[in-house]
Each structure stands twice: as C-alpha cells, then as structure tokens.
Amino acid sequence: MSQFVGFGVQVELKDGKRIQGRIAKATAKGLTLNDVVFGDGGTSQAFKVRASRLKDLKVLSVARKTHHTPKVSPPASQGQDWQNDDVNKLKQQDDFDFQGNLKMFNKKDVFAQLKQQDDVQPQQRLVSHNKKPENIANDQSVIPNAKEDAWDVDDEKYYDAQLLPVTKSINITHLLHNKGGDDQEADEEEEEEEESEEEKVIAKIKQALRSDRPALLRAKEINLQVLMANPVQLLEMERVSAEQYGIHAPIVVENFGNNASFVLKQKLGGRIRLRLDNMNPGPLVVIMASDSYRSGARALSLGRHLCQTGHVRVVVVFISQDLQDNHVLQQMDLFRRSGGKIVNGITQLESLVDKLNTPVECVIDAIQGFDCNLSDLYYNEALSPLENRVRSLIQWCNSLHNVQIWSLDIPAGFDSTTGTQNFDDAVRATGVLSSGWPLAALHAVKDQLKDQLTEVVAIDVGTPQGVYAQTSLRKFQSYDVFVTEGSLSLDI
C-alpha cells in the first residue's frame, strides 16, 4: 500500500471522532498519519489508527510529486588550474600587504557613524536589564524572595477533596473486570478478527528477543550482570513474599519509595543543591499516577519520601479522579500530610506551575506499570474519557524539554511482555525504576526509544532470598544485586 503514502486524508472513527493527516504508512492492520489535526483542535506529529476502529476515510489531497533536476558541475577553467601554474612566477609576485589594507579601513569613523545612527536609550538595552546594583553571593538567589511563591498557598482551587473517595471506580484495573455483557460480546468479536495477526506478531517478537538478546543487563559501576524477569515472575515473587514471609503490599510500597527517593535526590543535585539554606526553591517533580497498588501507591510513596524533608516539591495528577484502591488512598493521605500537592488535571497543573519560581525538572510516570496495558482502553466505550485523559497526560509529558522522565517498571504505552508500543501515544522515558528486577521487555522498548532511554535502576523492594528457592524462580538465586545499597544502576 505504499502508493498511498503522502495522501492527505480525513479519517472518521467508529466513536464519531474525525482526524485529518497525511498517510505515512498504510498496512492491512491500520494507518500511521503525520501532521495530525484532531477534531477538537489538538495536533500531533504522528498518530496510529487501527483498522478495526475505522468507519470512513476521505481523501483530501494526493501525494506531492517532487522533480529532481540533476546537478551539472561547471567545467573547470583551464586558465585557473593551479597545477599548471609556474612556481617561479609565483615567487616573483609581491607579498600581500596586510598592514596597508588594514589601514584602508577606518574603524573609528565606522563606529562613530554607528553610534550616531543608534537611537536606543541606554536604559532599554538588554545589559541594563541584566545588571544588578550589588554583588551576588554564590548561594544568593537572583530572584528576590524566590521561595515566596504560590507553593504554600492553599490548594483547594486545584483539587476538590469531595471527589474522594467514591464507591465505584473508573480506573483501568477495576473497569476492565466490570464490562457490560453487550460490550463484552462486541469486544470478543473484534478480538477474534485480530487474534491471529497479533499472535503472529507476538511470536516473532518473542523469538527475536530469545535469539538476539540475552535477558541480562550490566551494572554501571561494578562488574555485575543482572537477570531480567517477565511480569509473571514478578507477580510470583510478590505472592511468595506475602504468603510465606509476611512481606505484604504496605512493606513493599514503603521499601520501594524509600530506596527510589535516594536515587532521584541524587539525580536532582544531591547535597550540593538540596539544602534548607539554599535561597532558591527546591526542584519541582510531577507524578502521573493511576489507581493501582503496583504503580500508583508506589509512586505516591516515592513522592512522599521526596517532599517530606522540604527539599523537593512534588505534585501528583491522577489519570482518574475517582480512586478506590485502599493502598492508593492511604498513600495519598500520607503524601498530602507530608507536604505534597494533588491537582485535578493538566490545566490545573499548568496553572500551578505558572505561579511557581521553579520549572518542572522531573516527571515520574506511574500510569501503567507491569500488570496493565493501556491498549485495553480501546475495547470499552465506557473508558473513552479515561483514554482521552491518559493520552493528554502522555502528550503533555512528551512536550517537556530538558526534563528527566522516570517510568515505573515500563514506560506507559508499551506492552510489559513484548515491549511493543500498543497505545497511540507512549511516554518517552529517559529512565526506568524497576521493582526489584528489570523487565526483559525493556530491550524492545530501548530499540524504539533509542537514545532517549539511557538508564535502568533496579530498586530493592525487600524480597527475601528464600523466595528464589521456588522452582520457577531458582535462576535468580545466584545474583548479588542488593548487598550494600537499596538500588543498582544498569546500562540499557
């Protein structure tokens, strides 16, 4: 279908949405559009549309044809070929008079003329705006009273506490298990159409991962290789830890938050910057969280450990305003008591950031985690508002520049088993915080993010060594990962 590449089209989806763009790729499974304009006025560089979601397609323009004119090099002048010059004639020529030519340029008159024609007032020059009347110490803020911004103002306008808690959640994990009968039948019919193609793709990816990539990552600072796990193995580790050793969810959440916070504090400047006597406000961290114990609760715990000492400012925005998970609700209460802030959405977040004297320096992506796939949002019309909210959060995150983006276990928008992108938008993470063991799917994620993803950090969640005595986990026994520290930085 390469003959359609470059065509301008308008696509109508089954849910009534209309999208305009130019075809970059067309296959039997769907379209990839560039220069996309959404019906609500939003734009995007690229957007993927599955064939199963298409209702109608209208061609707006055909591909632009380009004509290439061959470049003809002009013939070399025979009289100017230096290879035929007589060296003796060149020696007889006078040397170039640099001093004489320099005297011909009267710099004094030229600058005098420029000054005469310049009508800009001295107080309007940029140097006047940047000039300070007094000397500034190395620990003194250039902005007067930099810490006196909107951070300590009551945040009722950014978040409505009456929205929490509610009795019925619309987060991904709960709603996907409470689909209506009609929706479920429609989903099953659609899944049957794509099942064979998806199985073939997944089988090829798994085969490539097994044959080309060892499921290992090498530590950055020590001579050590770390084994990579799959989601099933991580879930088995959690189950055995809880049932046989009493290491339940609250302990795991606290261990992750504490150990991961030390990693990010170093990334944000360490002791050199994070001091209470620093005249500048602390760095601003934004957490995008879901209503899930394995991502949302751990991210809230991490945010609490970052902000509880007053050195770092942390703001949380949830993908859903209706929360039900008890671990998330408990961690949210502790987070707010420790000085963290919660906002309703992107508009409120941007409004808050505009009133602060510090930009966003770090984003923590806790939207998905390893036990969920954002592609599940496609198969339930009731989740359409949540799908749009997730997409807007990811697009906002990817629009930031010079910002650290850390994802919990795997960037949102990628399959945690195969590492393929299975959502229209995916977080362009610069680093991954892995719960205990890194996912084997990160190799495939790295191939797609390329130089964007530079580091994976394994975080100790407190798994007892005896857990690995299980037959299915025995291969993890011989790796000394967390011996003297609660984290280990890995190359990816």
Residue 328 confidence (pLDDT): 92
Q: Is 28 helix (H, G, I), strand (E, B) or coil?
A: coil
| Stronger pLDDT, 423 or 71, i.e. the higher one | 423
Q: What's the topology of domain 214-491?
A: Rossmann fold (3.40.50)
Classify residue 64 by its DSSP letter. P
| Stronger pLDDT, 407 or 112, i.e. the higher one | 407
Residue 460 confidence (pLDDT): 94
**Segments making up each domain of the chain, as ranges:** 7-61, 214-491
Nearest partner of 23 among 47, 43, 5, 50, judged by Cα: 5
Q: Worst-scoring range by mean pLDDT, 162-176, 251-265, 362-376, 441-455?
A: 162-176
Answer whether residue 183 shows pLDDT above 70. no
User: Tens digit of pLDDT for each residue in 266-302?
Assistant: 999 998 889 888 888 889 999 999 988 889 999 999 9
Answer whether residue 76 shows pLDDT above 50. no
Answer whether residue 79 shows pLDDT above 50. no
Helix (H) or strand (E) holding 218: strand 216-218
For the sheet with 43-50, list strands across it: 43-50, 30-38, 18-27, 8-13, 54-61
Nearest partner of 252 among 382, 50, 83, 436, judged by Cα: 436
CB within 8 Å of 411: residues ≥ 6 apart = 365, 368, 426, 427, 428, 429, 432, 445, 449, 453
CB within 8 Å of 384: residues ≥ 6 apart = 15, 377
For 39-189, list the strands marked E by DSSP: 43-50, 54-61
Q: Is 487 helix (H, G, I), strand (E, B) or coil?
A: strand
Cα gap 319→321, rounded to integer Å: 7
At residue 361 the predicted structure's pLDDT band, cuts being 50, 70 and 90, is very high
DSSP string, 246-287: ---HHHHHHHHHHHHHHHHHHHTTHHHH--TT-SSPPPEEEE
What is each CA distance from 152 to 148, 204, 328, 346, in whole angstroms? 8, 53, 24, 20
Residue 433 confidence (pLDDT): 96
CB within 8 Å of 241: residues ≥ 6 apart = 247, 252, 462, 463, 464, 467
Residue 300 confidence (pLDDT): 95
At residue 174 the predicted structure's pLDDT band, cuts being 50, 70 and 90, is very low
Share above pLDDT 90 across residues of the chain, in percent, rounded to a whole number: 34
Average pLDDT of every residue of the chain: 80
Q: What is the mean pLDDT of residues 373-396?
A: 84
Cα gap 367→20, rounded to integer Å: 28
Burial code (b: 16+ CB inside 10 Å, e: under 16) for 65-97 equals eeeeeeeeeeeeeeeeeeeeeeeeeeeeeeeee
> Considering the entire predicted model, what is its pTM?
0.62
Residue 162 confidence (pLDDT): 42
Answer whether residue 77 shows pLDDT above 80. no
Angle (deg, nearest 10), helices 326-337 and 298-307: 10
- Which residue's structure tokens are 């991904």? 172
Angle (deg, nearest 10), helices 326-337 and 249-267: 40
Please give, one letter per residue, the 3-state secondary structure of 333-382: HHHHHCCCEEECCHHHHHHHHHCCCCCEEEEEEECCCCCCCHHHHHHCHH
Q: Which CATH class is domain 7-61?
A: mainly beta
Alpha carbon 432 to its chain centroid, in Å, reads: 10
Answer whether residue 457 shows pLDDT above 90. yes
HSE-up of residue 127 (Cα within 13 Å, Cβ side): 3
Q: What is the mean pLDDT of residues 32-37?
A: 87
HSE-up of residue 298 (Cα within 13 Å, Cβ side): 29
Angle (deg, nearest 10), helices 298-307 and 249-267: 50
Cα gap 409→400, rounded to integer Å: 21
